[in-house]
Amino acid sequence: MNDKIWDQPVRVGDALIFSPIDAHRFLQSQWPDRKDMAFADAESAIRAALDGRVTVDEARVKFEKALKSAHLN
């Protein structure tokens, strides 16, 4: 499932996130120190999407919610 991309990329500042693997990399390397429950939900959903346990669209929704919670979009 690592090669699956979203229909529309998610914009984070000047960056575009195209897939769960991109989102996972962003969470690990560029996320601010403040990590809340929305971050945990997004991280869990993204890992599940990478393993094929949830759809990439479900992971995208959780990722977007986490971005909103962290005021990154």
Residue 36 lies in a domain: yes
**What does the chain look like in DSSP terms, one character per residue?**
-TT---SSPEEETTEEE-SHHHHHHHHHHT--S---HHHHHHHHHHHHHHHTSS-HHHHHHHHHHHHHHTT--
Q: Let me know if residue 1 belongs to a domain.
A: no
- Domain assignment present for residue 2? The answer is no
User: What confidence tens digit (pLDDT) does each residue in 13-70 have?
Assistant: 899 999 999 999 999 999 988 899 999 999 999 999 999 999 999 999 999 999 999 9
Number of compact structural domains in the chain: 1
Is 53 contained in some domain? yes
Q: What is the pLDDT of residue 1?
A: 45
Let me know if residue 5 belongs to a domain. no
Whether 32 maps to a domain, the answer reads yes
Which range of residues forms the domain containing residue 51? 10-69
In a domain, 4, yes or no: no
